[in-house]
Amino acid sequence: MVGGTRAMFRSVLVANRGEIACRVMATARRIGMRTIAVHSEADRDALHVRMADEAWPVGPAPARESYLSVPALVEAIRASGAEAVHPGYGFLSENAEFAEAVAAAGAVFVGPPPAAIRAMGSKSAAKALMERAGVPVVPGYHGDDQSPAVIAAAAERIGYPVLVKASAGGGGRGMRVVERPEDLTAALEGAAREAVSAFGDGRLLIEKYLTRPRHIELQVFADCHGGAIHLFERDCSIQRRHQKVIEEAPAPGMTAERRRAMGDAATAAARAIGYAGAGTVEFIAEGEQFWFMEMNTRLQVEHPVTEMVTGLDLVEWQFRVAAGEPLPLAQEAVALTGHAIEARLYAEDPAQDFRPAIGRLVHLALPAGPGIRVDTGVATGDAVTVHYDAMIAKIIAHGRDREEALARLGAALAATEVAGLTTNRDFLGRLVRHPAFAAADLDTGFIARHGDDLLAPAEPAAAADVAAAALALLLAEHEAACADPSPWAAADGWRIGERQRRVLTFREGERSVAVAVTYAAGGWHLAVEGVAGEATAERAGGAVIAIRFAGRRFRRAVVVAGDRFHVFGPAATRLLTLLDPLAPPAAAEAGAGHLTAPMPGRITRVLVAEGDMVAAGQPLLVLEAMKMEHTIRAPAAGRVARLRHGEGDLVDEGTELAELAVDEAAGC
């Protein structure tokens, strides 16, 4: 790490939440600062609040009324006496007005000057500025005239497909790929709504959509003394919904000549706007060419891979530059060592188009070991809510080369255990094991191109996984009996004349699996799906149990939550539900004509009226959740019998949105 332990500021308020707030506070505490958190009502017991030396409330759960409320944050700054304010990323990290408000409150903004934020805050203005600075720019339209006719004419001039983007945003919000002219109007309307919701600014730009591009970005740092360097590149090509999933440094296949050219362009961009602090210059590359896309005037989510390959603490560098110090190292002194890869663990369902998931983390166990780093802002018992980003953790692996880093990341993902909500853990595991990823055949269309492999339905649980669930239950019963000396609590299956037999039935999706259990001395005899044999189980730390079954020895982590058994195998997570033979039959599910909200959110558009005839797959409503729009479509042809909610309504998961009188004849 760079520098010593002298605190350049005595205290810092982190104007953010979750994982990045925890990350910033870890460095601040290491160099001797008092750490101050802010929190919404929903976050009053969050990990970043528990980690801080003190914490201040800033408003209700919705981000607009708390983390995005400049007056509330300024009040917290003044009341806490914070000398510095670190904005993290997202929220107000690229808001020039907030940076000015911090200064007016008597604190130092740990970020670039407001003028630099403004210069890069509009993607349109940034592209024009980069063109004047000689930095190559993707062909596109980023003018002030936002009329649909002007944008349509520009799209025809550029040539389809085009990419519609929010001028003020990032992270995939307000972004649409448009393949045909007839789809442009709807894309512009949807992107503008999403941009207003996420950034408060509905202005858009369009640019040429490249077919096999790579997303390569340069980490830059500048100080207030004219110094500007880069800390090498990151490849962020693996994306879904235009949001990054996997990032790595250095970029595979990067030559020294190309690195020098991209580094020169990135530092030229920083100097062109009088930059100071950490920034990221993002390029799109195809073949031997690269073009400027945007500059993010903040720390990036993926900054840990840069830290892993350089051995530097970028947050400490931010503090030092904000305190007026020159850059700690010159360009030639920055060394690149090994390879690092980061995977973003999200609460989402890849099988449902990566739909965000919400819920409480019943169990969370994150990996550790040589070359492994985990950044998170949650712990077991915390909740992932509709109000904020659904990222659970970043899992980063470093190795001597890409092959070793990839192997370590695969093992780390296999050791990750999350119970209580759906995650992309298994999807990430398949991704990093995919032959094309191992061969570094990367571009932004990777996930879509290999979707059949990456998003294929999971194979039914193997006998070993079902046996693991059964043994977790039997072991728990045995442990409870050992804790109670009463003979009535014995769980050895004793009965007059013979050992007890029982059948445990588990459901996985629509499939039921029976496990025949016979109690035996020192263990059990199990029979499941044609596999039978003696079985034993013992605790091996945490949720892991060591199993011997039918002559095979293996380990599984099994987390039990009520009647739900989460079985974590090396390649897949299994969710098995124990059926109660005495329970009454479950109520029949609602018919296809009843449409319910897949998650909590706000209805932003109602596209039909009661009485309308609709076709199967036709959009009916648009639901906004976690700053993304989700279209609710007709499951079958029919007539809209009833609309239960209107535009602007807030709805919970499972709320009935509409009733559709299904056209039975159309389904024949």
Q: What is the length of the chain? A: 668
**How far is the C-alpha of 252 from the C-alpha of 216, rounded, in Å?**
10
Q: CA-CA distance, 307 to 336, in Å (whole number)?
A: 10
Q: Which helix (H) or strand (E) holds 261?
A: helix 256-272
Query: What single-letter DSSP state applies at residue 345?
Result: E
Q: Is the dihedral angle over the CA atoms 527, 533, 538, 540 positive or is it negative?
A: negative
458 C-beta neighbours (distance < 10 Å), count = 15
Q: How far apart are CA 155 and CA 359, in angstroms?
A: 42
Alpha-carbon distance values, 280 to 115, 292, 295 (Å): 16, 11, 6
Q: Is residue 281 within 8 Å of 292, Cβ to Cβ?
A: yes
Distance CA 492, CA 481 (A): 9
Q: How far apart are CA 505 and CA 512, in angstroms?
A: 7
On whether the CB atoms of residues 236 and 217 are closer than 8 A, the answer is yes
Asked whether 290 and 213 are in contact (CB, 8 A), the reply is: no
CA-based nearest residue to 524, from 474, 462, 476, 490: 474
Q: Which residues are part of the catalytic machinery?
A: 298
Residues 261, 42: Cα–Cα separation, whole Å: 46
Residues with Cβ within 8 Å of residue 81, at least 6 apart in sequence: 11
Tokens of 326: 């020159």
Which amino acid belongs to residue 146?
Answer: Q
Whole-angstrom distance, CA of residue 123 vs CA of residue 613: 42
Longest C-alpha distance within the chain, in Å?
Answer: 92
* Rounded Cα gap, residues 461 and 577, in angstroms: 12
The pair of three-digit structure tokens given for residue 332, joined into one six-digit string? 């030639």
User: Phi and psi of 409, rounded to 5°?
Assistant: -65, -40
Please count the other Cβ atoms lying within 10 Å of the Cβ belonging to residue 599. Answer: 20
Residue 662 near residue 638, CB atoms below 8 Å: yes
Bin 437: left if φ > 0, else alpha if -120 < ψ < 50, else beta: alpha
Position 101, amino acid: A
In sequence order, which residues have a C-beta less than 8 Å from that of residue 666 and are 6 or more positions away? 616, 636, 637, 638
